[in-house]
């Protein structure tokens, strides 16, 4: 609303005064709500201080225990990986359409995929036509 378009000066001053009062009330309400939130936060902090302090101690002790484990995991990941599911050497002749997997993988996959009532939506199954393993309609390759 433009106050300049009001021709009557008394009415214009009255509207400006009302606008300023409304603006001041909104600012005071905002400050009151904000201070109320801050005081509520302080009250909650004071009320739960014993709990949060003990949690800090527990957190520090857990972190100190987990740091050596984290370092060990980094060392294990940096070490050469052992392949539990190793493919046979590449010099062997591969039958067309047959996936070559290691002994461990073959043991588990052949027992599982040979079942007739295997979940073909979410589970792994072997397609008899192309002899590949699938999950849903997506072929998977195991190395």
Domain boundaries, the chain: 3-78, 103-140
117-136 burial, b at 16+ Cβ within 10 Å, e below that, comes to eeeeeeebbbeeeeeebbee
Q: Under 8 Å CB-to-CB from 17, ≥6 apart: which residues?
A: none
For residue 22, the model assigns a pLDDT of 93
Report how far residue 81's alpha carbon sits from residue 76's, in angstroms, rounded to the nearest whole number.
Answer: 8
pLDDT in tens, 112-126: 666 667 676 777 777
What is the residue-wise DSSP string for 35-90?
Answer: HHHHHHHHHHHHHHHHHHHHHHHHHHHHHHHHHHHHHHHHHHHHSPPP-SSPPPPT
Q: How confident is the model at residue 138 (pLDDT cuts 50, 70, 90)?
A: confident
Taking the whole predicted model, whether its pTM rises above 0.85 is answered as: no
pLDDT greater at residue 40 or residue 85: 40
pLDDT in tens, 41-58: 888 888 998 888 888 888
pLDDT greater at residue 46 or residue 85: 46
For residue 95, the model assigns a pLDDT of 47
pLDDT in tens, 2-14: 666 778 888 888 8
């Amino acid at each position: 609303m433009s106050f300049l378009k009001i021709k009557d000066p008394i009415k214009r001053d009255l509207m400006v005064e009302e606008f300023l009062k409304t603006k001041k009330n909104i600012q005071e309400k905002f400050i009151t709500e904000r201070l109320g939130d801050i005081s509520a936060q302080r009250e909650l902090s004071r009320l739960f201080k014993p709990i949060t302090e003990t949690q800090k101690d527990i957190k520090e002790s857990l972190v100190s225990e987990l740091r050596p484990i984290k370092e060990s995991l980094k060392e294990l990941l940096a070490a050469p990986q052992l392949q539990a599911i190793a493919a046979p050497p590449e010099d062997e002749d591969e039958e067309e359409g047959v996936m070559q997997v290691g002994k461990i993988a073959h043991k588990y996959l052949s027992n599982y995929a040979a079942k007739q009532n295997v979940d073909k939506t979410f589970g792994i199954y072997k397609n008899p036509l192309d002899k590949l393993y699938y999950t849903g309609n997506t072929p998977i390759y195991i190395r």
